[in-house]
Structure 1
């Protein structure tokens, strides 16, 4: 059995949700009771997952009858998050059959109840698709006097079929209105590109889509229905087991083999494949387009694969060619990836060429290092009090570590870790005589506990760094173990936001508690739990919450997160995101603080002064003013309130939102000396061209967006302002 590895990451969320779309409910048919017969491995895996929950989860909550009811309810909500698929009578029927026995079934390795629930869902979805197609074959009235609530998560399930049919018709009509208005917008952008070719930045961005809105929606529904039909038994098992784990907390997860491989890639920063990045084609999303090739990767070495090629099919070594038109990127990635040294054949063609011109290319898979995904550093010059301050910036996307390589005893120089990469970045910045350092942890989901402890040791001289408590109340204190070494001793600040989670919260909390630096930005996710990664299952892998971590001052970051010393504009304002929005989050609490020596001291009066001066700057800074206005515009839409199913009313509201958005954009352009956009279509065309251009660049080579860079500059200014007053 492999040694459990503690993970501190918010990446581990529900993974089976890619097919949980809005759907349907009608009278049950016999077909929804015909599922698959689980294999021995699937049954063993089910027993293993049930045992982990019953005996090893942090909550110490047995998987008993009452918990089984909660698990089953969680599964309904995962399949039907908007409560448009199952009728209340469906839930009553399934509960009568399975609620009391659901937990015991899982512990026996019996997946039959979960399979029947899923097959009922699949039957309903197919009925919904057929209903939608029938409606789209008619002349749909887009000017109704109806309204619809888009977010029905808190609404009751439909009590009758008639009530549900009315909702479906409104929902389909509302979707068709959106596509119609979107197509009008695309046509206006096409005209802008044709009238002003310079807007396209040398790219072919004219869509020229001749399909009707009904045809576009029909194609979309067909793709979704085909994807549903292609779901494999392992993926259905994943949906059942993953939601059993999510009933305990948001970060305990089960991953089927394909998804388990994805998780390893995220934490290891390497993969075994052919070295291409892909995404749906902009003009025809039935096709998946190759966006770029990795320098020196297997695909590039063939000389036969080009950027912009469309993928028509994939064949495994000695296998049949699979027609992948209509496949998702996830499905194609699963086909392309495989063991190093094996071959895969792809069928590709150039855009605007007939399928008959397609060519096949056989490529030998190899390990592809994701160099672009790691730590990056740079120097920013900040005008400050009549001079220039040289600010070092270290961008840390995650606390990554190649666990597999480390466990196998590989040499430390042969694999990547965030602490080693950060150490190199600090040394490089020290040589450039920086005046201060900003550690950018925005949208960093976390990662390895060991790595965040090593990272903190680079900045803190000595002392405790984080506390971990298990479900029996045992507390372990992680200390800085480098003998008092401190690679960086200068001024520093940490930039965080709502997307900063777990290991990011440990790092920023320790810096804040020691007074080692200023913490700036927005309150973090609030993911204060630690998971073990279990690779010892019969199929796939799991992450299981077994510990909670605490600051050295005794407070948990769970739920509450890390509150910054100085708040900046919150780009996630009004968006349901973070631990506080998840179902079944662990509670916030405190334990005994550790003994530690504060390195710096930011007094309350000092912080209050920094807050006041920063607020004044944000209110006048063009970038922050722009972001504040976008927050206000976003608040105009509330999916929990009824919206009109009428194209004229929706067009009028869209026009109002477009005008406000364009005014906000032009205000900041004028404030920064740029030429304002003449109209919405020109603005949108320019945005599309810029996005396309940036997508072809490596991440660290993309010019920084001014609204993002404003956070770096304001954080640095606060750091220097604080230095003048700190005692």
Structure 2
């Protein structure tokens, strides 16, 4: 039921920072208790449609003309945002709507958005009818002895040509949901109550939608044809974003959004309670929330994301428990429970930090200094005021480097895993700590103008052995820094392919464009420029390829910029003029790769990780699941046994302080580089 209920994949919420307000707080043109009335556009939507489409058409970096071809893409995107899994509309509905697909561009130029409401009203009718039928279906007894199966991935499914055909799809889907809950040891009566609550929540959510909600979905169907980071935010969404970001609220510090029926962890805020657990990861799905250590879990599948946040958020010192489907879970994996003590996100805990790991490498002891940088931050007010020691990534890292040098470390490893970016200035200044001077990144705007951002400080704070640890969630400023270190041959890049976010957005307040000053218009986040490495290669889409690739559970088409259909492509521009160092030579890279390949054969941690990844990938490819209870129980028992064996093996192989396989291998690779270079 992907994206069919809440349509908030484009809206982001932080548990502790809420960026969305329920539609009941919008100006209604429909009574939420009366689902028979149809939504229609308001006068201001005519103005905003012209404004938003005009700005995107003329000022987006991509410079694509909004014509019939893009109109078709927008049409498909809008249909998909309402019914991504083809579970509500019939084939006849889609065929009827197709007559509009070539005219959306012409309509928006004159402010017409009637089509959006016509399609949405049909969707709501189909949806409410389906919910009514589902509430009846879940009361019947399912036969779990039949040899039936269900395809969980409906990306390539056809639209049902009749209600009877769609009924069969839903019968299997409901049977799949029912069986899944049975396998988690819930009784049938409990399952029926749980599913009933879910569907009633779905119904409530759809009935509450307003004209502004529909307009927001429609405008984002347009914006997402250009790229995934250009988005329209309604007035309420925009205002709440500003209000919540200016306050220090208490929660767990996680960025949440909606994906189908699920509330999904998008990122974990550095310094927050969730961050400290090291157990909450991007793409984990929240399926239940419980208060304290004793209260029962509330099932939140199908809930509005803002409602889930209200459950997660709470006073400092209180406990919340999350029931999670982990990012690497398979069909029959058991949900995991995470206990978190709520707290405020403390600025000092978001800052760069250091530690030393001691390694035995080829019979010699090595001390590797690790600097963990969770984000590229800058105290802008202090910086503008001219304070000397303002808080920033580069200033704090400079201090940590000097402290590590006093402790006589053999090399330094910069840990950028899960660092989603931040201040561009800090990415440049941080690079400057490790090079003498020169360009760090190039920025190309929509007119083709290219600007070089340079490190102009000739002081090189650290000239010793350097490694940079990255993963699939290292993005934006992290990619600028790691790409520059790689291009200057200044350090060895270790880990996973990075995210590939190489675009620049600007926030445009739409209030100044509308004639009616009594109503707010919201905002538009518009992609205006693109980052390029000093070699001329874009960081967009492809990200930064590590010199030494560690095992990864993620595929590029699952996580990262390249998984987004409308992502801007990778390309190249002219190289900047720069002088690379000889710290990392091609010969050195080859030697380190050979060393790593040997570790893959002998290191128990890596062998375990590779084995786990292989099994997980095989299981995740298995999208067709049996609806026979006996078969599923057997399959689940097999998987549970493997999980128990993994836990037992982990306990045997690891001491608590050495559980980070990536960090340990990063340290070993850097130690080998130091050994080969004779300590230099």
1:143 aligned to 2:170?
no
- 1:252-308 C-alpha deviation (Å, 9 max, x unpaired): 222334544676699xxx54254344999xxxx99xxxxxx999xxxxxxxxxx983
Any residues of structure 2 matched to 1:531-680 within 5 Å, and which? 531-537=505-511, 538-573=520-555, 576-638=558-620, 641-672=623-654
Any residues of structure 2 matched to 1:308-323 within 5 Å, and which? 308=292
What residue number does 1:716 align with? 667
Contact 1:466 1:552 in 2 (8 A): yes
Any residues of structure 2 matched to 1:1-150 within 5 Å, and which? 14-16=9-11, 34-38=38-42, 40=44, 42-96=45-99, 98-150=100-152
Q: CA deviation at 1:85?
A: 2.6
What residue number does 1:384 align with? 361
**Separation (CA, whole Å) in 1 of partners of 2:170 and 2:669:** 52
**Separation (CA, whole Å) in 1 of partners of 2:540 and 2:36:** 41
Contact 1:446 1:503 in 2 (8 A): yes
What residue number does 1:160 align with? 162
* SS of aligned partner of 2:247: strand
Q: CA deviation at 1:430?
A: 4.1
Contact 1:467 1:551 in 2 (8 A): yes
Q: CA deviation at 1:603?
A: 3.0
Q: Relative to 1, partners in 2 of residues 1:265 and 1:383: Cα closer, same or farther, differing over 3 Å?
A: farther
**Separation (CA, whole Å) in 2 of partners of 1:235 and 1:420:** 44
Contact 1:278 1:329 in 2 (8 A): no
Contact 1:256 1:539 in 2 (8 A): yes
TM-score (norm 1): 0.72
Any residues of structure 2 matched to 1:247-646 within 5 Å, and which? 247-257=225-235, 259-260=237-238, 271-272=246-247, 274-277=249-252, 308=292, 328=304, 330-331=306-307, 370-401=347-378, 417-481=392-456, 483-537=457-511, 538-573=520-555, 576-638=558-620, 641-646=623-628
* SS of aligned partner of 1:635: helix
Q: CA deviation at 1:34?
A: 0.9
**Separation (CA, whole Å) in 2 of partners of 1:636 and 1:80:** 28
**Separation (CA, whole Å) in 1 of partners of 2:308 and 2:497:** 37
**Match among 196, 220, 236 for residue 218 of structure 1:** 196
Q: CA deviation at 1:335?
A: 11
Contact 1:515 1:602 in 2 (8 A): yes
What residue number does 2:330 align with? none
**Separation (CA, whole Å) in 2 of partners of 1:92 and 1:477:** 50
**Match among 214, 238, 247 for residue 236 of structure 1:** 214
**Separation (CA, whole Å) in 1 of partners of 2:667 and 2:570:** 31
- Aligned pairs, number: 590
Bigger shift: residues 131-140 or 536-545 = 536-545
- 1:69-98 C-alpha deviation (Å, 9 max, x unpaired): 2112111122222222322222222221x3
- 1:24-46 C-alpha deviation (Å, 9 max, x unpaired): xxxxxx96881144352x54443
Q: Relative to 1, partners in 2 of residues 1:601 and 1:410: Cα closer, same or farther, differing over 3 Å?
A: closer
Contact 2:389 2:395 in 1 (8 A): no
- 1:401-456 C-alpha deviation (Å, 9 max, x unpaired): 577x589x667689864444444444444444433221111222223322312221
**Separation (CA, whole Å) in 2 of partners of 1:131 and 1:402:** 55
Contact 1:526 1:560 in 2 (8 A): yes
- 1:171-207 C-alpha deviation (Å, 9 max, x unpaired): 01001111111126xxxxxxxxxxxxxxxxxxxxxxx
* SS of aligned partner of 2:371: strand
**Separation (CA, whole Å) in 1 of partners of 2:112 and 2:372:** 47
**Separation (CA, whole Å) in 2 of partners of 1:210 and 1:422:** 57
Bigger shift: residues 425-434 or 614-623 = 425-434
Q: Relative to 1, partners in 2 of residues 1:454 and 1:112: Cα closer, same or farther, differing over 3 Å?
A: farther
- Structure 1 unaligned regions, length at least 5: 1-12, 20-29, 185-208, 287-292, 296-305, 312-323, 338-343, 352-366, 674-702
* SS of aligned partner of 2:198: helix
Q: CA deviation at 1:717?
A: 1.7
Q: Relative to 1, partners in 2 of residues 1:613 and 1:216: Cα closer, same or farther, differing over 3 Å?
A: same
What residue number does 1:684 align with? none
Contact 1:500 1:525 in 2 (8 A): yes
What residue number does 1:193 align with? none
Q: CA deviation at 1:55?
A: 0.2
Q: Relative to 1, partners in 2 of residues 1:549 and 1:325: Cα closer, same or farther, differing over 3 Å?
A: closer
**Separation (CA, whole Å) in 1 of partners of 2:469 and 2:240:** 28
Contact 2:150 2:172 in 1 (8 A): yes
Q: Relative to 1, partners in 2 of residues 1:630 and 1:33: Cα closer, same or farther, differing over 3 Å?
A: farther
Q: Relative to 1, partners in 2 of residues 1:579 and 1:222: Cα closer, same or farther, differing over 3 Å?
A: same
Contact 2:251 2:312 in 1 (8 A): no
What residue number does 1:686 align with? none
- 1:470-506 C-alpha deviation (Å, 9 max, x unpaired): 233222111113x212233322111112222222211
What residue number does 2:676 align with? 725
Contact 2:490 2:584 in 1 (8 A): no
- 1:597-632 C-alpha deviation (Å, 9 max, x unpaired): 112343333222211221322343333222222212
Q: Relative to 1, partners in 2 of residues 1:328 and 1:88: Cα closer, same or farther, differing over 3 Å?
A: closer
* SS of aligned partner of 1:636: helix
* SS of aligned partner of 2:422: strand
Contact 1:53 1:62 in 2 (8 A): no
TM-score (norm 2): 0.76
Q: CA deviation at 1:526?
A: 2.1
**Separation (CA, whole Å) in 2 of partners of 1:65 and 1:662:** 56
**Separation (CA, whole Å) in 1 of partners of 2:405 and 2:40:** 61
Q: CA deviation at 1:638?
A: 4.6
